[in-house]
């Protein structure tokens, strides 16, 4: 290899290095501003810490310009002028914000504000009012007292947990018989509950008993309805008998004796009905109490038998009362239509009255 070839290769290498260096200068240096047209914008900051000439201006994370000058203004703030690429529009609603990294590098971010279409572009002499993002190191410094308080709270919480563990260890491992008492009471309560459930199962486990209880409960509305009708009928009968007794006052001795017997019989019937109603009221009250008769109904089948007997007594009393009411109605109708029969002959006469 001769010297000429060597010199040619060195020249080619130097030329290639110069071309590459020029390309890098164009891409990353100030030369792009000479190639790309720009326009200036004015930004006002209360504090422009870290901003200097050449500070990048980004919009949506893309480099759109650089700061050209930084100076104090008359209001005590900082006036910043930046050159923005001509193809990038800047709107009035955008807010310049200075952001700093942990290494101290700063840049200006153009953040869109409250957008209301149509958006208006920034005029030539208008000034954007900027904001400052807090320095991460400054934020960490302000958090230091809070972190100290948090560590103190964490230490207190660890002490409380330690005390709790000691108390639990004392309770479960010995030295305190309250846990053992609690366990004994719990076992006794469970035994009582098991016994109660066994009793309920003994009663409710029998299909016949369940059917009887269902039939009894389903027949209660009918019994109550019959009682209401009976009471209404008795009230009407008592009113009618009272009116008739006032009308029959001063009649003959046979009629008076018969009237006294009828009144006595009605009084006995009313007494029986009152006793029956009291029993029904007591039964209804006891049925509504969950710990009273209903509990006995579940455990003691005798209560069901008593309820069936009471219903039978009510039906029997209703049947016995119905002929008496019919006799009173026939008697009053007979006296109203044939008053001449009020004598001894009329009392002996068995002709029926008009119904």
Cα gap 289→297, rounded to integer Å: 11
The answer on 95 and 196 residing in a single domain is no
Spell 233-243 as b/e; 16+ CB within 10 A means b: ebeebeeebee
The answer on 216 and 337 residing in a single domain is yes
Q: Which residue has the tokens 């009905």?
A: 273
The answer on 331 and 256 residing in a single domain is yes
The answer on 196 and 215 residing in a single domain is no
pLDDT confidence of residue 305: 77
The answer on 313 and 237 residing in a single domain is yes
Residue 280 in domain: yes
Q: Against a cut of 0.85, is the pTM above it?
A: no
Give the domain range for residue 173: 152-203
The answer on 258 and 304 residing in a single domain is yes
pLDDT confidence of residue 346: 54
The answer on 222 and 324 residing in a single domain is yes
**Number of domains comprising the chain:** 3
Residue 66 in domain: yes
Cα gap 355→346, rounded to integer Å: 18
The answer on 175 and 117 residing in a single domain is no
* Helix/strand/coil for 68: strand
Residue 77 in domain: yes
> 292 near 208, Cβ under 8 Å?
no
Residue 32 in domain: no
Residue 145 in domain: no
Beta strands in 179-329 (DSSP E): none
Does residue 352 have a pLDDT over 70? no
* Helix/strand/coil for 249: coil
Does residue 40 have a pLDDT over 80? yes
The answer on 295 and 264 residing in a single domain is yes
Cα gap 184→230, rounded to integer Å: 57
Does residue 172 have a pLDDT over 80? no
Token digits of residue 44: 């006002």
The answer on 220 and 187 residing in a single domain is no
Which tens digits make up the pLDDT trace of 312-339? 887 887 887 778 877 777 778 777 777 6
Strand partners for 131: 97
* Helix/strand/coil for 83: strand
Cα gap 66→58, rounded to integer Å: 9
């Amino acid at each position: 290899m001769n010297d000429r070839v060597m010199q040619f290769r060195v020249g080619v290498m130097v030329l290639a290095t110069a071309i590459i260096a020029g390309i890098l200068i164009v891409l990353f240096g100030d030369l792009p501003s000479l190639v790309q047209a720009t326009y200036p914008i004015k930004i006002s900051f209360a504090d422009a810490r870290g901003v200097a000439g050449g500070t990048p201006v980004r919009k949506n994370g893309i480099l759109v310009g650089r700061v050209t000058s930084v100076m104090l203004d008359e209001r005590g703030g900082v006036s910043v002028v930046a050159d923005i690429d001509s193809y990038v529009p800047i709107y009035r609603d955008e807010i310049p914000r200075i952001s700093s990294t942990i290494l101290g590098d700063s840049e200006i971010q153009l953040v869109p504000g409250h957008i209301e279409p149509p958006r208006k572009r920034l005029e030539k002499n208008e000034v954007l009012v900027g904001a400052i993002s807090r320095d991460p190191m400054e934020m960490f410094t302000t958090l230091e007292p809070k972190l100290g308080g948090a560590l103190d709270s964490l230490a207190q919480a660890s002490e409380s947990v330690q005390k709790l563990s000691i108390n639990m260890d004392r309770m479960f491992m010995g030295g305190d018989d309250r846990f053992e008492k609690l366990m004994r009471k719990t076992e006794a309560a469970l035994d009582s509950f098991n016994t109660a459930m066994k009793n309920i199962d003994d009663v409710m486990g029998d299909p016949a008993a369940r059917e009887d209880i269902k039939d009894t409960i389903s027949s209660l509305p009918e019994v109550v309805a019959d009682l209401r009708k009976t009471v209404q009928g008795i009230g009407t009968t008592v009113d009618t008998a009272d009116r008739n007794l006032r009308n029959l006052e001063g009649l003959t001795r046979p009629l008076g004796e018969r009237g006294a017997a009828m009144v006595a019989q009605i009084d006995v019937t009313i007494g029986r009905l009152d006793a029956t109603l009291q029993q029904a009221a007591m039964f209804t009250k006891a049925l509504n109490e969950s710990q009273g008769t209903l509990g006995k109904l579940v455990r003691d089948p005798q209560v069901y038998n008593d309820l069936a007997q009471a219903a039978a007594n009510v039906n029997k009393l209703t049947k016995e009362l119905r002929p008496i009411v019919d006799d009173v109605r026939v008697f009053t109708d007979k006296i109203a239509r044939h008053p001449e029969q009020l004598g001894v002959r009329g009392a002996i006469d068995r002709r029926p009255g008009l119904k």
